[in-house]
Amino acid sequence: MFLRLVLRNRRECVPESDETMTPVVGKIQEVREAVREARRRGERVGLVPTMGALHAGHVSLIRAARAENAYVVVSIFVNPTQFGAGEDYESYPRPLEKDVAICRQEGVALAFVPTTEEMYPAGFATTVHVAGLTEKMCGVSRPGHFDGVCTVVAKLLGIVQPDAAYFGEKDAQQLAVVRRMTRDLNLAVEIRACPLVRDADGLATSSRNQYLSTRERASALVLGRALAQARQRIEAGERDAASVADGVRRLVGEEPGVALEYVAVVDSDTLADLERIEDRALVALAARVGRTRLIDNVLLRNPRGGSTTPATG
């Protein structure tokens, strides 16, 4: 009941302090004050930016942040500027009560849930654009998407001013772009990457998985399988990037109801296309399963040494 009240009035509300409570605040000023208090106590501050509909992938980020920071802020904001026309901004899931319950279970110090007006007040006129890295892969079918991401991440970093911010390798291009942005703008924050989390059946966890019907979900498993096969081939010595990409295309192409948008074999840091796979190889893809767009990838940190992020299980 109290939570419902808090959520309804979240712009004004700072719930009473209680060790088991994660205050939910909507105002930038409230975040600044809370973080200032934490700093006064000598606490290190971590930030986990999310769009909510929290799942195991987000929880892994929160746990990584908790392991390194006494004070963890989770932001929950479905950022309109990173959605294109005709995308799922309106229908994106917003289970705020459940999200706040997860934050509380995970010992999050503060949940920042701003309104669109709080983040983009009248007169807002700035966009952060990272050139090059954003123009390929997901940038092709989602023009402007990474401008929205960079702008909101830059704002969140400016609002919270964390020591470290946590991002998932699930969004490998986003991670590379955010790293480039923080380097280029000399932002005083450590960007931490957390491994991609999968459900038991091998599907990468995503807020958008709930759009899938049972049948679509079964079809979508081909993505993890194709990437697992790519990993195995590389680990077995395949060095030809085109051949690896072809293998993914062939396997995904055999699954009715799954339309591959792209598969890329790139350097995970620069996102430069690879011809030969030597080091830091990222095999990334996007596909449509019915009306749902999914992304997935496998990261091979050192194919020669065989240290990888597993693509299944």
For the annotated catalytic residues, the residue numbers are: 58
| Rounded alpha-carbon distances, angstroms, from residue 169 to 107, 197, 311 | 23, 9, 12
Please say which residue, 13 or 300, places its beta carbon nearer to ligand AMP.
300
- Is residue 130 within the footprint of ligand AMP (CB under 6 A)? no
Please say which residue, 15 or 310, places its beta carbon nearer to ligand AMP.
310
CB-based closest residue to ligand AMP:
168
Q: Using CB under 6 A, which of 57, 148, 224, 303 touches ligand AMP?
A: 57
Please say which residue, 56 or 185, places its beta carbon nearer to ligand AMP.
56
Q: Name the 3-class secondary structure at 300.
A: strand
**Residue type at 215?**
R
Minimum CB–partner distance for residue 117 and ligand AMP (Å):
20
Q: Which of 113, 106, 143, 138 is nearest to 127 (CA)?
A: 143
Q: Which of 76, 75, 71, 77 is nearest to 107 (CA)?
A: 71
Q: Which of 176, 197, 204, 149 is nearest to 268 (CA)?
A: 176
- Is residue 100 within the footprint of ligand AMP (CB under 6 A)? no
d(CA 73, CA 48) in angstroms, rounded, equals 6
d(CA 251, CA 120) in angstroms, rounded, equals 43
- Is residue 72 within the footprint of ligand AMP (CB under 6 A)? no
- Is residue 78 within the footprint of ligand AMP (CB under 6 A)? no
Please say which residue, 61 or 282, places its beta carbon nearer to ligand AMP.
61
- Is residue 51 within the footprint of ligand AMP (CB under 6 A)? yes
- Please report, as residue ranges, which positions from 173 to 232 form the binding site for ligand AMP (by CB under 6 A): 194, 196-197, 204-207
Q: Name the 3-class secondary structure at 130.
A: coil
- Is residue 151 within the footprint of ligand AMP (CB under 6 A)? no
Q: Using CB under 6 A, which of 6, 28, 45, 61 touches ligand AMP?
A: 61
